Amino acid sequence: MTRPLFGTLCGLVFLVNLGRTAFAPLVETFQAQFGVGPAAVGIVTTLVWTGTALPRIPVGYLLTRVSRHRIVLATGVLLAAAAAFTASATSILMLQIGAFAIGVASGAYFVAAVPLVGELYPDAVGRSIGIHGTASQLAAVAAAPMAVYFLATASWRGTFWVLAVAAVVSTGLFYAIVRRMDGTPGTGADRDFAGALRHWRLILTGMFVIATAGFVWQGLFNFYVSYLVTAKAFSQNAASTMLTVVFAAGVPAFWLSGTLADRLPRIPYLICVLAAYVASLFALTAVQGFVPVLVVTAVVGYTVHSLFPALDAWLLGTLPEDVRGSAYAVFSGASLLLEANGSGAVGFLTEAGYGFDTVFRTFAGCLVVVVVSLTVLYLTGRLPGTGDSPRANGT
């Protein structure tokens, strides 16, 4: 029954990510529907990601009292209710509340489900997380076409009604499968939240990597269309196509990177992926023309999305089972709160008169420091949570 359970988790992660990515393509529609300006609708998209970040550490503590599969069930119920509430919104306030609730459901889901996925396939943690991430990334690619389809055939509300119904069905399937399983992985609680905090060196190392890379990524993709229009002289349609490409490149990245994380030494692989991401950022600021930008855009999308399963595989493969969920909650929650400031930083710097290329080149330069630091820690055997460093292996 492991495979059916994993399949329902992939279905649920598709839905939770669809919920939090479905708002961006509907920004102009919301302005017209509710008669508000960009600022009010901007709060809607901000609340989705704030909701994603805020519950992670509290849910991590809750996992010391409640098993992971029960948290996953609760997030499915919350997602269905929040999607139905959003579809029924008659005011911008209702829309904002619905967006925040969808964000909370997604944040709580990832904290409980990602460690559970790792436990389902303990000998293939990277591959299972990669497949799970691929399902999530497919939702990011599908969000805009789905929104456009319902706008053309019915109403924007159709997107969220479909999400609500699908969440009910997927949650029901997950519940039915869990009931039929004996000794379901993840039925035990993470028993020691304080014990999770004792792994602070590992958590901070993971944050050092993903919070910095994610900070740059948030700033890049949120301003990608504006960046290409302003700095590369792209049309609005061409720039939007590039944004789709950068997310579509993440679909194979999650699967392949997760598989490679199981087959290769995890720390060297992680460093190589991060270095490739940094190099692609430098290249992006240097190239001009549709085809060169298209190629580099695909590389940026592939490398940044490869980073996520590579880091998760390392962390989850290193953390003890009894603190895995709680420690991952602290790591992901704190990291997301830092990452979310990336778009604000880019907006502030460009408004202050700095060009996009200058900003992103500077960000890439800062990431070089991260790559060098991580490499030095690995080579000197001081990187926490790894047994495959040269010193550990006696090489």
- Count up the domains in the chain and report the number: 2
Cα distance between residue 302 and residue 256, in whole Å: 10
- Average pLDDT (292-303) is 97
43 pLDDT more than 70? yes
Show the tokens assigned to 145: 């076409």
Same domain for 106 and 67: yes
User: For residue range 308-337, what is the model confidence (pLDDT) as tens digits?
Assistant: 999 988 888 888 777 777 788 888 888 888
Q: Which of 189, 217, 234 is the last residue of a domain?
A: 189
User: For residue range 173-216, what is the model confidence (pLDDT) as tens digits?
Assistant: 999 998 887 655 555 555 556 666 777 888 899 999 999 999 99
Q: Write down the pLDDT at residue 271.
A: 96
Do 301 and 176 meet the contact criterion of CB atoms below 8 Å apart? no
Q: Which of 162, 189, 216 is the last residue of a domain?
A: 189
Same domain for 203 and 178: no
Same domain for 220 and 138: no
256 pLDDT more than 80? yes
Q: Write down the pLDDT at residue 394.
A: 38
Position 1 confidence tier, pLDDT thresholds 50, 70, 90 = low
Same domain for 224 and 147: no
393 pLDDT more than 50? no
Q: Write down the pLDDT at residue 383.
A: 81
User: For residue range 145-154, what is the model confidence (pLDDT) as tens digits?
Assistant: 888 789 888 8
Same domain for 172 and 70: yes
Same domain for 165 and 263: no
136 pLDDT more than 60? yes
Same domain for 34 and 1: yes
Q: Which of 189, 207, 235 is the last residue of a domain?
A: 189
275 pLDDT more than 90? yes
Q: What is the CATH number of the domain that holds 141?
A: 1.20.1250.20
Domain of 266 in residue numbering reads as: 198-395
User: For residue range 48-107, what is the model confidence (pLDDT) as tens digits?
Assistant: 878 888 888 888 888 878 888 899 999 999 999 999 999 999 999 999 999 999 999 999
Same domain for 97 and 16: yes
Same domain for 169 and 243: no
Same domain for 153 and 261: no
- Average pLDDT (161-183) is 91
Same domain for 303 and 164: no
